[in-house]
Each structure stands twice: as structure tokens, then as C-alpha cells.
């Protein structure tokens, strides 16, 4: 496995700072301490399903949580389908031995392990759910859309896209670990989160190399970031949710309206625990912005994303005027600080 240098220190920094602690009344689930995770050296990053104390799983804490069932089941489907993604990427980067070796021997292996672990959790927590049968129906529909032609037009831009995907999954599992009502689930999602953040580091490493080779401009990179961001809650999630929902509500129709309703509920659940600062920093990093610009832009984007996520859920924004006032205050303070520096 290629070694990474000091440029990865920023990732370690951004995951240490959690969001401001919320009052108890804003928490959807009670926050229950998880079992301490074993400390691992940098050379031993992997874990196995045997590291998870499945016998300690407390079904009573999750069995009635339908929304949590959807979040975990859809994730287990998409992670298990990594084989299709991996084959496409390995073919796309043919000739680049370092990249394809890492994809095949490390990334693919760990992503498939995520799928197996989440599958086992779902089967243990909801034993009446026929995971294998539902997954087969999901994969038959999902695989038709997962083709190599859907990748970005250049290797550099596809690495940008991969960075955004890993940002999304790292944020997703960070959120699940924070809101988990069950200790085993929290431990599992913490382990997956660590893997996803490490995957981001490697994709970013390869992105830097291809950016130099292809002399890729910031505007094209920015557009690739936007394209992938628009796909995060796209067709893959809809297909997975449709098949999971169909088992619990046999015969009930599933359309875009119902999908949006469930997504809205999910944002309400996840918004307060979503790692806004971490996700924004990981998203902006491929743009290689001036440090002063990024330092200003990142908090503002995180601030807006927090309002947007909460505003679409059950925690409605009581006054949009307040949002605009807060934003105006931030911009005004920044402008005054800049003016003071120039005046010195």
C-alpha cells in the first residue's frame, strides 16, 4: 500500500472537532456510550467482523426504529454492490498499476467488508427481514445503471468524484455513530467511518497526481464536485429504499413523493448530528483554494448547510430573517476584519 505524507494531517484534524453539543431536547435518540474501540497502529488499519461483539447487540433499542432500518439496509445494499463499482474503476484506470492494485487489494476488500458487516447487523437486529432475497431484487435494478460510461470523462475528474463519494460516506457513518441508540451499531459505524476517511486520503493522493498530469483547471474540478454532490441522494438511494420499503409495506406503491417524504424524515433525524464542518472541508480541499479564502468560505457553507438540513426536517426554521441576519453578521465581521488589516 502506498504511504501517505504530511498532507493528510488536515483530515486527522477535521475529524477531532465535533459539532457543538446539542441540548438533550434536540436529540432524536438518547446518546448511549459505546464500548471503547481497540487502539490500532497505522500499519494495522483493518478490522474483521470478529471484532464486533454481535452477542451484545441490544435488539430492543432498534427493532421498532423503522427509519433507522431504512438507513442501515440501504447502506448495506449499496456497500455490498461495490464489486460492480470496483470492476468499472479498475478497468477505467488500466495501466496505472499503483492505483489499480490499491483499488483491488484494499479499497474493494474493505468496502465489501462494510457490506457484510451491515448485512449481519440488519439480519441480527431484524431477523424476519429476508436480506438476501431483497438484495437480489435491488441488484437486478441497480446494476443496469452502474456502467463504466457513467464515470467522469477524465481520470483526474473521476478521482475528484471519488473524493466526494468518500466524503459523503464518511459523513454518513459519522452521523450514524453519533445518533445510534445501540452501542454495537455505534462501534460498527465508527470503524466504517475510519475506513472511509482513509479511503478519501488515498483518492485525494491519486487526484493530486492526475491533476498535475492532466493540468486540470479549478473550474472543471468545481463542476465535477457539483455533479457528484447532486448524485449523493440520487437514483442508487431511491432504488435501495424502494426495495427495503416494499418488504415492510407489501403492496404499497413507492413513488418519488414517498421517497422525498422519507428523505425529509432522514434529514430531520440526521441533521443535528451531521458533521457539517468536516464534510465542507473535505469537499473544498480538491479546489486548492487560497488558505485565507477557504478559512472564510468553509464556516459559511457549513452554517448554511446546517440550516438547510434542519429546515427541511421536523426542526423548522422559525424565522428565515434570523438566518439572513446571522449570515449578514458573519460577512460584516469578516469585511471589518479585512478592512482593519489593510488599515494597519
Q: Which residues contact 191 (CB under 8 A, 6 or more apart)?
A: 37, 47, 51, 52, 117
**Cα(304)–Cα(297) distance, rounded to whole angstroms?**
11
Beta strands in 55-100 (DSSP E): none
In the chain, the domains with their CATH numbers are: 61-274 (1.20.1260)
The packing angle between helices 256-270 and 66-80, to 10°, is 100
The pLDDT score that the predictor gives to residue 268 is 86
Q: What pLDDT is stored for residue 57 in this prediction?
A: 96
pLDDT reported for residue 3: 47
All cell numbers assigned to 171: 459523513
Angle between helices 218-231 and 155-179 (to 10 degrees): 40
* Residue carrying the nine cell digits 483491488: 104
State the Cα angle at 15 between 190 and 224, rounded to 5°: 100
* pLDDT beneath 50, residues of the chain: 2-44, 310-320, 323
Longest dimension (CA), the chain: 71
Q: Output the pTM of the full model.
A: 0.78
Cα torsion 112, 115, 116, 121 to 10°: value is 160
Cell numbers representing residue 208 in the block = 493530486
Quote the pLDDT of residue 12.
38
Among candidates 121, 47, 74, 68, which has minimal Cα distance to 273?
Answer: 68
3-state helix, strand, coil in the chain (%, to 5): 75, 0, 25
The H or E element that residue 337 is part of is helix 320-343
Amino acid at each position: 500500500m502506498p504511504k501517505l505524507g504530511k498532507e493528510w494531517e488536515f483530515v486527522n484534524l477535521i475529524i477531532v472537532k465535533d459539532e457543538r453539543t446539542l441540548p438533550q431536547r434536540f436529540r432524536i435518540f438518547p446518546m448511549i456510550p459505546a464500548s471503547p474501540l481497540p487502539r490500532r497502529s497505522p500499519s494495522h488499519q483493518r478490522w474483521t467482523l470478529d471484532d464486533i461483539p454481535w452477542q451484545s447487540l441490544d435488539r430492543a433499542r432498534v427493532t421498532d426504529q423503522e427509519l433507522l432500518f431504512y438507513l442501515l439496509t440501504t447502506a448495506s445494499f449499496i456497500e455490498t454492490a461495490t464489486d460492480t463499482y470496483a470492476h468499472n474503476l479498475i478497468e477505467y484506470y488500466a495501466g496505472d498499476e499503483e492505483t489499480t492494485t490499491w483499488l483491488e487489494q484494499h479499497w474493494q476488500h474493505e468496502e465489501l467488508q462494510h457490506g457484510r458487516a451491515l448485512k449481519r447487523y440488519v439480519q441480527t437486529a431484524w431477523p424476519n427481514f429476508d436480506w438476501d432475497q431483497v438484495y437480489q431484487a435491488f441488484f437486478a435494478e441497480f446494476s443496469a445503471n452502474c456502467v463504466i460510461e457513467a464515470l467522469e470523462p477524465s481520470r483526474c475528474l473521476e478521482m475528484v468524484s471519488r473524493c466526494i463519494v468518500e466524503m459523503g460516506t464518511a459523513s454518513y457513518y459519522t452521523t450514524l455513530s453519533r445518533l445510534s441508540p445501540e452501542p454495537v451499531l455505534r462501534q460498527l459505524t465508527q470503524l466504517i467511518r475510519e475506513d472511509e476517511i482513509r479511503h478519501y486520503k488515498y483518492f485525494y493522493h491519486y487526484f493530486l497526481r492526475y491533476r498535475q498530469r492532466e493540468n486540470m483547471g479549478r473550474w472543471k474540478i468545481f463542476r465535477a464536485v457539483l455533479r457528484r454532490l447532486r448524485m449523493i441522494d440520487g437514483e442508487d438511494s431511491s432504488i435501495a429504499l424502494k426495495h427495503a420499503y416494499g418488504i415492510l409495506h407489501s403492496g404499497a406503491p413507492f413513488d418519488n413523493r414517498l421517497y422525498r417524504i422519507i428523505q425529509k424524515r432522514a434529514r430531520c433525524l440526521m441533521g443535528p448530528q451531521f458533521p457539517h464542518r468536516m464534510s465542507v472541508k473535505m469537499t473544498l480541499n480538491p479546489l486548492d483554494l487560497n488558505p485565507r479564502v477557504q478559512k472564510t468560505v468553509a464556516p459559511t457553507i457549513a452554517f448554511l448547510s446546517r440550516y438547510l438540513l434542519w429546515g427541511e426536517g421536523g426542526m423548522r426554521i422559525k424565522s428565515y430573517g434570523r438566518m439572513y441576519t446571522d449570515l449578514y453578521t458573519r460577512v460584516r465581521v469578516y469585511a471589518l476584519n479585512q478592512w482593519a488589516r489593510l488599515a494597519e
